[in-house]
Amino acid sequence: MNTSDMTTAPDLKSWVESANAADNEFPIQNLPFGRFRRDSNSDWLIGVAIGDQVLDLRKAKLIDTIDMNHLMASTSDERRRLRLAISEGLRHGSAQQAAFASALVPQDQVELGLPCQIGDYTDFYTGIHHATTVGKLFRPDNPLMPNYKWVPIGYHGRASSIGASGQQFHRPRGQTKGPDDPAPSLGPSRRMDYELELGIFVARQNALGDPVTMEQAEEHVFGLALLNDWSARDIQAWEYQPLGPFLAKNFATTVSPWIVTMEALAPFRIPFQRPAGDPAPLPYLDSALNRAAGGIDIKLEVWLQTEAMQKSKLAPQLLTTSNYSDAYWTVAQLIAHHTVNGCNLQSGDLLGSGTLSGAAADQGGSLLELTLGGKQALTLSNGEKRTFLEDGDTVILRGYCEKPGARRIGFGECRGTLQGVRK
């Protein structure tokens, strides 16, 4: 597990002045990785966000590849050495300032894409408050299934439909069936929803048949990003039994373009504790280090901007806040469980955390929770009402870490817009 080092020292300053602003999400203590290009005819390049700029790592002679997955497959020591070299070159007084300055490009002059080539995608269900609230809608007396507190629940998603922040997608079609309908019918979803999640990007792979232990798990993690697991709730309600999500989930998933590394998150590690009376994890999902610092304090937000708001030049409205510290399973536990049967994760694979809701009623990480299954509409600041998403709605996820004695870092935006049914 990564611990704080000199790259996260709160007094570090950069010669990139925008990175020193208190409200900038990408100070020198952050240095998240992503891919960018100057135009649609250019290759995707590997960059690091610093202030309002992107540092082209190959042009700065820090790497000799444009293959992000190859870089992610490096050993943890190699990744830490690269982070240190980037940090040293961007600090005030660095002898490399001139060379690095020529490798900078403004973020608003480039296109940001998926941070890597995503081979496989698994979505977990680690948000116990989400699982409990949603479970109560269908099973008021028994909201959690009996396996929830014993095994990290997950399903395999569709990597080909994952898009970067700014993704636009059409309202999906699928089968639905109301409780009184004699037969199902095919049509557009009428209960479109978002899900507030984090994405976990795999670094180096494990061999087929070679489980990853809890002690090794975070050596296989490159970092975290924001993730919106769009969901068609009416399609999901009809198809999910007995095998789980399918067309209700595989039409679109949006991730933020920057991967915040585990090294940058080190100052915000917190103890991982189960509520009193809950069963202890099985030994393969437990370690002293995970109990001491397996959690991460990440504050999360969901914002909504309707089409009418955009036309009236109204700012997005904050719908909910939550924190990753409430997750029932840690990053290390997800890696350990995913591989305990010998499954081989590969560099660039993506794991979703599952919806991250808070304990309070207004901290639901989805509209399904906030509107009690569509029974209680939300009234927005401009008078509009929402039970589920309407065409033209843009959902924006934001996340950041802050605490006394550490520099605040952010994840950037994860933005997506629901369009109408494709004609």
Q: Tell me whether residue 229 is annotated as binding.
A: yes
- The yes-or-no answer on residue 220 being catalytic is no
Residue 355 among known ligand-binding residues: yes
Task: Report d(CA 26, CA 19) in Å as an integer.
Answer: 6
CB burial string 255-280: b at 16+ within 10 A, e below: bbbbbbbbbbbbbbbeebeeeeeeee
C-alpha torsion angle, residues 91, 408, 294, 132 (rounded to 10): -150
Q: How many Å apart are CA 20 and CA 28, to the nearest integer? A: 8
Residue tagged active-site, from 130, 220, 337, 338: 130
Any known ligand binding at 177? no
Which are the contacts of 254, defined by CB distance < 8 A and separation ≥ 6?
162, 163, 164, 165, 167, 227, 228, 230, 414, 415, 416
**Per the annotation, does 379 bind a ligand?**
no
Check whether 195 is labelled as a binding-site residue: yes
Q: Which residues contact 27 (CB under 8 A, 6 or more apart)?
A: 12, 14, 19, 20, 51, 407, 408, 409
> What are the distances in angstroms from CA 211 to CA 28, 152, 155, 267?
35, 16, 19, 28
The set of residues, in sequence order, having a beta carbon less than 8 Å from that of 141 and lying 6+ positions away, is none
Q: Is 123 annotated in some ligand binding site?
A: yes
Q: CA 283 from chain center: how many Å?
A: 27
413 is in an annotated binding site: no
- Residue 400, annotated as binding a ligand: no
Tokens of 357: 């809701």
Closest CA to 350 of 156, 201, 160, 205: 201
Q: Is 139 annotated as a binding residue?
A: yes
Measured distance CA(200)–CA(321) in Å, rounded: 20
**Binding-site residue ranges for substrate:** 125, 139, 236, 240, 355
Binding-site members for Ca(2+) are 123, 195, 197, 229
Annotated binding-site residue numbers:
123, 125, 139, 195, 197, 229, 236, 240, 249, 253, 355
Catalytic site residues? 130
